[in-house]
Structures are given as structure tokens and as C-alpha cells.
Structure 1
Amino acid sequence: MAEAEVCVDCQPDNQQVPAVKVPEPASAIPHNPLDPTTFVAPSPSIAPSVTIEFCDRCRWLHRATWVSTELFLTFPTPALKVINIMPLNSEETGGRFRVWLFLDGQPPALVWDRKVEGGFPELKLLKQRIRDHIQPGKSLGHSDK
């Protein structure tokens, strides 16, 4: 088993509660933190929905809630029925910020991964990627210019 990835984006203080290991399903494909084809999506919920996974140790709760609010404002129900924000706090999930899209009858689509993409999503691009899956042809107004 590969050595656990260490969060390089935060340095938790010594007063923090010890990290809880989040089990991921076993897979025949070995996990590579920079290869999206080896990522395991969280459990699906009502579709269409979005799940935002983020490193809690990096203090990215506010960013995750801001992104979820912007997505709900852009894609009100029934376009998106649920947006989950999922804090993660383990060595394996250090520095993670992923956005997953769940649609009926389709495998989960990874819309954004901070490590693969080299940073956080610009909302314009994230909205365009989600729109292309759930409402192709919908105008996003200034986000399309």
C-alpha cells in the first residue's frame, strides 16, 4: 500500500482532534492522487445532484458553501435537486477539493479536482461544465461571455 498523502496546504495545530480515516472501497485499479480515472466517487444521492468534497483541515468549508450557494442560484430545483458538502479529515484526503455530478442512469462525473486542475475552480468554468451536463444550451448570461 502506498504511503498516505500528506496535506501540503495546511498545517493543523496540535490542538486538533486526530484525523479520522475515511474508508474508500477497494478497487482493482491502484489509487493515484493525480489520475481522475482512479478516483472513487462518494455515494450517490438524489439526481441530479452535486457533491463537493473538501479538506476540512485546510479550512475550506467557506469555499465549499460559497460554491454550493452559487450553484443553487444558477441551477435552482429541478435542475439541481441536492448539493452535498462533504468535509474530509484524513491524511489520504489532505488538500482535496472535488466537485462530483450525479445524474440518473449515469456514472458519477468528476467536474473538478483541485489537484488535477492546478487550483480551485473559477465559478464561470464550473457552472459551464455542470450546465453542459444538466441543461445543454442554457444561457448562463455573463458567465458565457
Structure 2
Amino acid sequence: MATPPTQPTTTTTTTTTTTTTAVGTHHLPRITIKYCTQCKWMLRAAYFAQELLSTFSTQLGEVALIPATGGIFTVTIYHNPSEEKQTQLQSKDVIEETVLWDRKTEGGFPEVKVLKSRVRNVVDPGRDLGHTDRALKSGAGAGADAAGAATGGVDATAAGGKNGESQGEKGEETGGEKEKCEDCQ
């Protein structure tokens, strides 16, 4: 009987890197921006993430974009409680969740200066944001400016949408049909 030819053997080398960070931990403060993919708000979410990272750089541990549906656009920060609250809770393992912006309750999208101010109030309350703080102080007394701030400075009816969304953001093309987010209508 003839033996079949043998195949040459190959070896694969893999490298594993181990870190000292415990599994399941996040770098704090952690900001999550949850956005509706059906409404095409990913670029808006990425823009806000870029602005926050540019302003706060290493003061933020992480900024995450979380795709969702249902007309959702929320910005949430996860952080350690203040020292006063840690003393009251008698635990250092507590992570606090603060919603900085919710499109459905606030109406529309935040202006960047408003979002930066809210992040600053949690991350470093004593920090001066320079022109952002000056713009907030000068616009606080104007009624028309405050209404525009809720929709990101855009007249929602002129843009063809509601709550500051333009018509191009309402749905997503899929196979020739327009798929619309029911909650965004």
C-alpha cells in the first residue's frame, strides 16, 4: 500500500498583550452620545464628540458614539461623584450618571457652547471656557436667541423639519424605499 504524501506543517505565532486595567472598567469621565441611525444623526454626534475632545482633551476619559433608533439623541456623562457625595455614600466604587442633553425633553439639539458648558460643570466647574462662557452670558437675556439655542440656532420650520432637524435627516434610503423613524415624525 502506498502512503499518501504528507503535507508540510506550519506554525502560527500569536502575541497576547496583558494590561493592568481590570475587566469591565471604563475611563472616567465617560461621555456617551446615543443617536438615531434612521434619522442620520451620526455626523452630528461625531461633530459633538470632536468638539468635546478638542476642548477637554485629556480631562475626558472616553467619548463613545452609540447607534440607536427611535429618534433618540442623548448625551450622558458617567463620572465619579463629588467628594461630598462619596462621603455620604461611603463608597468610592459608585459611578454617577448625568444626562447632559436629551433631544426629546430639551427640544432639538444643543448648541456646542451649551453642551461644553454642561460638560465643564461636571468635569471642572472652576474652569473658564473663554469665548464660550462670554457667548452664553451675552445670549442669556435675549428671548429669540434662547429659542434658537434649543434647535441649534436653526429655525426648524425654515429647515423643513421639527426640533432642528433638516429634511435630509428624517429618513434613510433602503432599497428604493424611504424608511422613516416613527418617533421622529
Q: TM-score range by the shorter chain?
A: 0.5 to 0.7
The 3-state SS of whatever aligns with 1:76 is: helix
Query: Does the 8 Å contact 1:45/1:102 carry over to 2?
Result: no
- Counterparts of 1:130-145 in structure 2 under 5 Å? 130-145=119-134
The 3-state SS of whatever aligns with 1:57 is: coil
Residue of structure 2 in register with 1:65 after alignment = 46
The 3-state SS of whatever aligns with 2:108 is: coil
The one-letter code of the counterpart of 1:85 is: L
TM-score of the two chains, using structure 1 as the length reference:
0.64
Residue of structure 1 in register with 2:64 after alignment = 84
Question: Which digits, 9 at most, give the CA deviation of each residue in 1:66-121, with x for residues without a partner?
Answer: 000000001011x10100000113xxxx1110000011233210000001001101
The 3-state SS of whatever aligns with 1:75 is: helix
Q: 1:127 aligns with which of 105, 110, 116?
A: 116
The 3-state SS of whatever aligns with 1:126 is: helix
The one-letter code of the counterpart of 2:36 is: C
Structure 2: distance between partners of 1:81 and 1:133:
13
Residue of structure 2 in register with 1:24 after alignment = none
Residue of structure 2 in register with 1:99 after alignment = 75
- Counterparts of 1:38-49 in structure 2 under 5 Å? 45-49=26-30
TM-score of the two chains, using structure 2 as the length reference:
0.51
The one-letter code of the counterpart of 1:68 is: A
The 3-state SS of whatever aligns with 1:47 is: coil
CA change 1:57–1:66 in 2 (3 A) is same
Runs of 4+ in structure 1 off by over 3 angstroms are none
Structure 1: distance between partners of 2:115 and 2:25:
20
Q: Which moved more, 1:101-110 or 1:63-72?
A: 101-110
Percent identity over paired residues:
41
Shift of 1:44: 8.0
Segments of structure 2 that go 5 or more residues without pairing to the other structure are: 1-23, 81-93, 135-185
Residue of structure 2 in register with 1:29 after alignment = none
Query: Does the 8 Å contact 1:54/1:64 carry over to 2?
Result: yes
Q: Which moved more, 1:49-58 or 1:97-106?
A: 97-106
Shift of 1:125: 0.7
The one-letter code of the counterpart of 1:82 is: E
Larger RCO of the pair (alpha carbons < 8 Å, separation 6+)? 1
Number of residue-to-residue matches in the alignment? 98
Shift of 1:46: 2.1
Which of the pair is proportionally richer in helix?
2
The 3-state SS of whatever aligns with 2:96 is: coil
Segments of structure 1 that go 5 or more residues without pairing to the other structure are: 1-42
The one-letter code of the counterpart of 2:118 is: R
